[in-house]
Structure 1
Amino acid sequence: MLEVYIDGASAGNPGPSGAGIFIKNEGSTESYSFPLGEMENHEAEFHALLKALEICVKEGASIVSVRSDSSAVVQAVERQFVRNKKYQPFLSEILHTITEFDLFFIKWIPSKENKQADLLARKAIHLN
């Protein structure tokens, strides 16, 4: 099982943005920082999840457990619904991608439990 921590960050709303992904896999860890260009914070959060799912698919994961401090992203995936239609394409791609896994979990966590992914997302902002 891959334990995946994600975060998206923007310097301004919109502004330079980045995605941070921290993956725990049976004692080993992987860290990723992806610059995302100019976008809003919620968009960066959705992009972080999409990037994380792409990595998990490439690694051939069958069980994926994602943790995020973005209640908007977690609720959108859990409810399979977004109020703001701007995020519908992201949600559609996410819902399609998670069918690649035998089991998929997503859980909201407080920011204090997501520090590693937050640092990686902030690092990615500076890579723009």
Structure 2
Amino acid sequence: MVEVYIDGASAGDPGWSGAGIFINYKNGQVEHHAVPLGPMSNHEAEYEALIYALEICLEKKINMVSFRTDSKLIDDAIEKRYVKNKKYQPYLEEAVKMIDQLDLFFMKWIPSNQNKTADALARQAIRKNK
């Protein structure tokens, strides 16, 4: 099963932001994505990273994935399919629509020290904004 590590970062709140996505195909092949997002909050950047990663999976026909995030906000929202802050509702709806197109999807919260590659990619993406 393909593992997808995601992270969003923001230099300020709001501030220049980026999404980091690390895909491990478990066959020796990996992909790195550093996506500049423009000004937004850290939480918005986390959702953008999730959505961007889901788009990659759908485009590449990766139908069985295990996502990893160090964001409790994202993990809880996907697990419960609910957001407290209605500002994030459109992000959740878009993500769920894509998740429902996959054959198998898991989301797992991991500590930040296990998400260093995606974090570094998100920070690299922030620098690409300028």
Superposition TM-score, scaled by structure 1 size:
0.99
Residue in 2 aligned with 1:16?
16
Residue in 1 aligned with 2:74?
73
Give the SS at the match of 2:39: strand
In 2: Cα distance, 1:78 partner to 1:121 partner: 23
- Residues 5-52 of structure 1 show CA distances to partners (whole Å, capped at 9, x for unaligned) of 000000001000000000000221000000000000000000000000
Residue type of the partner of 2:31?
E
For residues 37-56 of structure 1, what are the structure 2 equivalents within 5 Å? 37-56=38-57
- Residues 73-101 of structure 1 show CA distances to partners (whole Å, capped at 9, x for unaligned) of 01000000000000000000000001111
Residue in 2 aligned with 1:105?
106
Residue type of the partner of 2:11?
A
**Identity within the alignment, %:** 58
Gaps of 5+ in 1: none
In 2: Cα distance, 1:37 partner to 1:117 partner: 18
Residue in 1 aligned with 2:33?
32
In 1: Cα distance, 2:63 partner to 2:41 partner: 31
Aligned pair count reads 128
**Runs of at least 4 residues of structure 1 off by over 4 A?**
none
Residue in 2 aligned with 1:117?
118
Give the SS at the match of 1:30: strand
In 2: Cα distance, 1:23 partner to 1:54 partner: 13
In 2: Cα distance, 1:15 partner to 1:73 partner: 19
